[in-house]
Amino acid sequence: MRIDVLSLFPNMFAPMRESIIGKTVERGLVDFNVTDFRNYTDNKHHKVDDEIYGGGQGMLLMPQPLFDAMDAVEKEAGNRGRVILMDPAGKTFNQSIAEELAKEDHLTIIAGHYEGYDERIRTLVDDEISLGDFVLTGGELGAMTVIDATVRLLDEALGDERSAVDESFSTGLLEYPQYTRPADFRGLKVPDVLLSGHHANIAKWKHKEALRRTYQRRPDLLADYVLTAEDQKLLKEIKQEEQNE
């Protein structure tokens, strides 16, 4: 996968060279590039923003630097890929969108700054994405979040193909509790079933605890989750157990 980012602050993306994302770059799974679109301005002061026609607060990003930077990406890569604009008005990012983006060969993300974008910039864009109902100083943190959530879903990115599948939201439920050594730490014990070696019982426990955690912490997710007859039985048990505590 190739990932291009258009940003005025390329140094903000230095952390993307670390951890799992950095390893995917080192192993050639991801070709990661950040373009400072200030370098594509056609004015001597390298100005990228200007006042708003008709009045208004703040400054808008002008179309010219971004259009020319996008042309440069297209010339180098052979295409623009799927172009994403980080914008508070975009659709809210979630695991489903990350899974969709992970199927792409090339993503180009525009991380803007200042008050917003000249509307004509949106003609370059395939998708507009937001992290939620709040406003950040710029799109860089949002772009990093989208990249991280997407890249870790690529084949071989996590080293274990089951890791991404079992995570919270990928199944529609939150992830079940997990434990490691020691089995007894200061009187806090690992559930016996996980030490039993009985794979069927362990699988059932994991699913029930995923249901329990979702019911306790994010019951809204259950509204879109198709409960099987077994799920309904387990959920009834969970609710009864909650009442008896």
pLDDT score at 162:
47
Considering just the CA atoms, what is the radius of gyration of the chain in Å?
Answer: 23
pLDDT tens string, the chain, 245 residues long: the values are 999 999 999 999 999 988 888 999 999 999 999 999 999 999 999 999 999 999 888 889 999 999 999 999 999 999 999 999 999 999 999 999 999 999 999 999 999 987 789 999 999 999 999 999 998 989 999 999 999 999 999 988 876 554 555 555 668 899 999 999 999 999 999 999 999 999 999 999 999 999 999 999 999 999 999 999 999 999 999 999 999 97
CA pair distance 209, 218, nearest whole angstrom = 13
Q: Please report, to the nearest 10 degrees, the dihedral formed by the alpha carbons of residues 144, 74, 50, 61 taken in order.
A: -30
pLDDT score at 73:
98
pLDDT score at 17:
85
* Amino acid, res. 108: T
What angle, rounded to 10 degrees, do the helices at 19-26 and 140-151 form?
A: 70
- The torsion region of residue 158 among left (phi > 0), alpha (psi -120 to 50) and beta comes to alpha
User: Contact at 8 Å (CB) between 94 and 153?
Assistant: no
CA pair distance 151, 121, nearest whole angstrom = 26
Hey, what are 232's tokens? Answer: 């309904």
Taking Cα atoms as reference points, which of 22, 154, 24 lies closest to residue 100? 154
pTM: 0.84
pLDDT score at 87:
94
Cis peptide, bond prior to residue 182, ω within 30 of zero? yes
pLDDT score at 12:
95
Buried residues in 176-190 as b, exposed as e (16+ CB within 10 A): beeeeeeeeeeeeeb
